[in-house]
Amino acid sequence: MSLKDYGWSPYFANQLSLDEADALIPTRVVAVHRSGIVLTDGDAEFRLLLGSGWFHGDPEARPTVGDWLLVEPARDKAVRLLERKSLLKRLAAGLVAEAQLIAANVDTIFVVTSCNEEFNASRLERYLALAADSGAEPVVVLTKQDLTDDPDAYADRVRVIAPIAVVELVNALDASTLDGTRAWCQAGQTVALVGSSGVGKSTLVNTLAGRKVQLTSGIREDDAHGRHTTTSRSLHLLNDGALLLDVPGLRELGMVSLDRGVTEVFDDVEAMATRCRFADCAHRTEPGCAVREAIESGELDERRFHNYQKLMREEARNAATIAERHQARRRFAKRARNAMKEKERFRPS
C-alpha cells in the first residue's frame, strides 16, 4: 500500500514546504474515536492522541475522517492539518451551537434513501444541500428497488427535486445491480454515504466491499424506519481501490453555513424570485410575486417552496449563533493572553 492508494494527490503534496517534506510524515485520518484518531501512513495504521491545543480553537480546525495530517517521524504528535478540498459538516446536536465535521476530502457523496415509506422529499433536499455545499459530487442512490413494483417512480420523484442529479437504483443485497454505483468508486477516490438509519447504507458498503465491514439491521415493520447500526465513522478500502466512508444515521441534520448548498438545490425557486416585481418580496401577499404565481399555477410545488424558506431561515439562524460563539471564544482567548502577559510583568526576576 502507498499514500496514493489512500487518496494522496498533487493537491496535498503541493501544500508541503521543502522542510516539511523532509522532516514530517503525511498521514490520513481513517477513523475518529473519543480517545483519539486512527491514522495511516500508507504502510500501517496507528492511533494518535490529539494534544489539548487542537480543542481550543474553531472546531473546523480539528481533524476529521478523511483529513490529511503531517505528523512527527515518531508518529506521536500531529503538527499540521493540510487544506481540505471538500468538507462535509452539520450543526452539532445538543445545546452548544457548533459545527460538527462529518468527513473531509470526499470526492463523491452517495445520498442514500430507499424505495419505500422512508422516502421523504424534504429530507432528501436537506441532504442534497449538505452534499452540494461540501464541494463533493452528490449522487442519489435509491435502495430496496426489489421491494416495490415501480422503482422508476421513486427515481422520477428525485428528478422533480433535482432535475440534473445522478440517480442510481439498486438492491444493496444484489451486487449485480451495483454496476452504476460502482462506477463512482475508482481507485484513490473517496466516497461517503449519508442518509437516514435503515435505508441500507451499511448493506451497500458490505456489498461494494465484497465482505462484511459494517453491522446491518432490519427496518421496523410499522413505519419502514431503521435502527442505527453504524456507530462511528471510518474509511474502508475496497478491492477496486476506492475508499468508502459510511456515516452513522443522522437523527438530526442541522444546517450550518449552507447558503451555497441551498442555492444550488433550490435554483429554480431562486430564479423565480428574481422575476418578482419587488426585490425585497417576501412571497406572501405582495403584488407581482412570481413565486406565488408559480405555486398557484402548479409550476412550483408549495411544499418545496416552504422547505426552501425553512432551510434558509435555519441556515441563517445557526450561522449567526456560531459566529457569536466564535467571537466569544476569541474574546476569551484575548483576555487569557493579556492575563498571562500581566502575570509575566509582575513575576519576580
Backbone angles phi, psi at 324, to 5 degrees: -65, -40
pLDDT above 60: residue 237: yes
Give the pLDDT score at 324.
Answer: 58
Task: Indicate the range of 123-127, 168-172, 224-228 predicted with least confidence.
Answer: 224-228
pLDDT above 70: residue 343: no
Q: Is residue 113 a contact partner of residue 143, using CB atoms and an 8 Å limit?
A: yes
pLDDT above 60: residue 228: no
- Proportion of the chain above pLDDT 70, given as a percent: 80
Q: Output the average pLDDT for the chain.
A: 83
CATH number, domain with residue 76 = 2.30.30.140
- Domain assignment present for residue 68? The answer is yes
For residues 140 and 225, state if they share a domain.
yes
Give the pLDDT score at 171.
Answer: 95
Between 209 and 97, name the one with better pLDDT: 209
Pairing of strands 166-169, 137-143: parallel
Give the pLDDT score at 222.
Answer: 46
- Domain assignment present for residue 43? The answer is yes
Helix boundaries (H) for the chain:
10-13, 18-23, 121-134, 151-161, 179-182, 201-209, 259-265, 267-273, 290-297, 302-345
For residues 73 and 151, state if they share a domain.
no
| Nearest-angstrom CA–CA distance, 312 and 148 | 34
pLDDT above 50: residue 109: yes
For residues 75 and 151, state if they share a domain.
no
Instruction: Select the highest-mean-pLDDT range: 32-41, 53-62, 163-172, 330-339.
Output: 163-172
Give the pLDDT score at 79.
Answer: 93
CATH number, domain with residue 196 = 3.40.50.300
Whose cell is 512527527? That residue is 72
For residues 75 and 133, state if they share a domain.
no
Residues in a beta bridge with 114: 143
- Domain assignment present for residue 109? The answer is yes
For residues 79 and 106, state if they share a domain.
no
Q: Is residue 25 a contact partner of residue 73, using CB atoms and an 8 Å limit?
A: yes
pLDDT above 70: residue 23: yes
Q: Identify the domain boundary among 216, 246, 276.
A: 246
| Nearest-angstrom CA–CA distance, 333 and 339 | 10
The C-alpha angle 245, 184, 186, rounded to 5 degrees, equals 80
Give the pLDDT score at 342.
Answer: 63
For residues 8 and 70, state if they share a domain.
yes
Q: Is residue 41 a contact partner of residue 70, using CB atoms and an 8 Å limit?
A: no
C-alpha cell read off for 302: 408549495
Closest by CA position to 122, among listed 162, 165, 86: 162
**Phi and psi based region of residue 260 (left: phi greater than 0; alpha: psi -120 to 50; beta: remaining):** alpha
pLDDT above 50: residue 223: no
Overall average pLDDT of the 265-270 stretch: 91
pLDDT tens, 145-160? 999 999 999 999 999 9
Q: Identify the domain boundary among 211, 246, 281.
A: 246
pLDDT band at 220 (very low <50, low <70, confident <90, very high): very low
Backbone angles phi, psi at 7, to 5 degrees: 100, 5
- Domain assignment present for residue 316? The answer is no
Give the pLDDT score at 15.
Answer: 97
Give the pLDDT score at 38.
Answer: 93
The total number of structural domains in the chain stands at: 2
Q: Identify the domain boundary among 223, 246, 269.
A: 246
For residues 106 and 79, state if they share a domain.
no
What is the domain extent for residue 34? 3-83
For residues 73 and 145, state if they share a domain.
no
The CA distances from residue 72 to 23, 149, 320, in Å, are 8, 57, 37
pLDDT above 90: residue 311: no
For residues 233 and 140, state if they share a domain.
yes
- Domain assignment present for residue 272? The answer is no
- Domain assignment present for residue 277? The answer is no
pLDDT above 50: residue 225: no
For residues 139 and 230, state if they share a domain.
yes
pLDDT tens, 54-90? 877 778 888 999 999 999 999 999 999 999 999 998 7
| Nearest-angstrom CA–CA distance, 248 and 195 | 8
pLDDT above 50: residue 253: yes
DSSP letter assigned to residue 117: T
Task: Indicate the range of 13-17, 144-148, 205-209 predicted with least confidence.
Answer: 205-209
Q: Is residue 189 a contact partner of residue 173, using CB atoms and an 8 Å limit?
A: no
For residues 237 and 125, state if they share a domain.
yes
Q: Is residue 187 a contact partner of residue 239, using CB atoms and an 8 Å limit?
A: no
Q: Considering all CA atoms of the chain, what is the largest pairwise distance in Å, rounded to the nearest integer?
A: 84
- Domain assignment present for residue 150? The answer is yes
Q: Is residue 31 a contact partner of residue 234, using CB atoms and an 8 Å limit?
A: yes
For residues 111 and 219, state if they share a domain.
yes
C-alpha cell read off for 298: 402548479
pLDDT above 70: residue 138: yes
pLDDT tens, 319-333? 666 555 555 555 555
- Domain assignment present for residue 152? The answer is yes
Overall average pLDDT of the 97-117 stretch: 88
